[in-house]
Amino acid sequence: MKKDFYLTRYALIIKKLEATPSTYSQIEEYLLNSFEFQDAGIKSYSMRTLQRDIREISDLFSLSIHNKKRRDNRYYIESRPIMEVDGYNQKLLESFQISNALNVYPDFADFIFFESRKATGIENFYDLFFAIRNKRILLFEHYNFKNKKMTSRKVHPLALKESKDRWYLIAVDTKDKLLKSFGLDRINYLTVGSQNFREKYEYNLRDHFKNAFGVMNLVEQNPQKIVLQCSRHQGEYIRSFPLHQSQKEIKETQEHIYFEFFLHPTYDFMQEILSYGKEAKVLEPETLIQQIKNNLSESLKAYTDQ
């Protein structure tokens, strides 16, 4: 068994057992018939390897795989972790699958094309993660796109948040004690202090992020019910790739599909809706409808004033 193939095995085993409980023979047949195993030229998969893979899957992805020995001898995933951890595990698994495929086949550049518009700042990711876990004070320079100025910051880091291929540091600014977000691609001259901050903040960031779309003002907005009417064409895309975890399909007609969300009506969410043009229309709340109308009026005015 190839040593660099283990992550692909893990992904395939999880995929199989999430679909249906399976015996060792069924798992073996599934793996050996997969394109991944055929491409790698792997012809066997032992019970011993399966048992080792199950232990390592449990350690790496917090998934408990058990065997119904007293009944039909099938393996099954006992439970999935909480939503936030599950999302992390899914991202991790996807990254491993892609990384493994690219490492095994170095000619991937001829037929796999990545998005070239990637934000920078990931080089500081582990330092920030370390500071958050150990409650270390952070010092850095942060560039503001709006006023085009670099300012010195001293913060208490609390979390990292991803939004549209960008990462943000969520931290309390010691200057005004406000919770803010800082784009990692705009952080310069980062220093992880040797001192710990002692403050115990009561922000429930898990609840905030649960109802978040993009980066938001964490202290002022409250989540609301949002109803969206989409053309059937656009609705099919949103149905297959939900905008948010709270998305529910509430109605369908010959011409439209209707969705309901429960989230913060942020600027990022408004921009997402505006990107669909006439294919999507907000039906409630009224405050968001008015914001979209104002935005469209200002956009039209920018063209008519030329």
Dump pLDDT digits (tens) for 63-116: 788 887 666 688 988 765 444 445 656 666 677 667 666 666 666 667 777 666
Determine the average pLDDT of the residues in 260-265: 90
pLDDT of 297:
93
Domain harbouring 40, CATH code: 1.10.10
pLDDT tens-digit readout, 138-157: 999 998 888 888 999 999 99
Residue 196 lies in a domain: yes
The pLDDT value recorded for residue 10 is 86
Q: What's the pLDDT at 206?
A: 79
**Mean pLDDT, the chain, whole residue set:** 84
Q: What percent of the chain has pLDDT over 70?
A: 83
**Residues recorded for the chain:** 306
pLDDT at 90: 66
196: how many CB neighbours lie within 10 A of its CB? 12
33 and 76 share one domain? yes
Q: What confidence tier does 62 reach under pLDDT thresholds 50, 70, 90?
A: confident
Range of the domain at 257: 224-304
Q: Does the residue 291 lie in any domain? A: yes
In CATH, what number is assigned to the domain containing residue 186? 2.30.30
User: What pLDDT sits at residue 193?
Assistant: 92
pLDDT digits (tens, 9 = 90+) for 7-24: 788 888 988 888 888 999
Q: Determine the Cα–Cα distance for residues 1 and 258; give it in Å rounded to an integer.
A: 49
Half-sphere exposure of 19 (CA within 13 A, CB side): 11
232 and 175 inside one domain: no
Neighbours of 15 (CB within 10 A): 13
Of the listed ranges 140-149, 208-217, 240-249, 270-279, the least confidently predicted one is 208-217
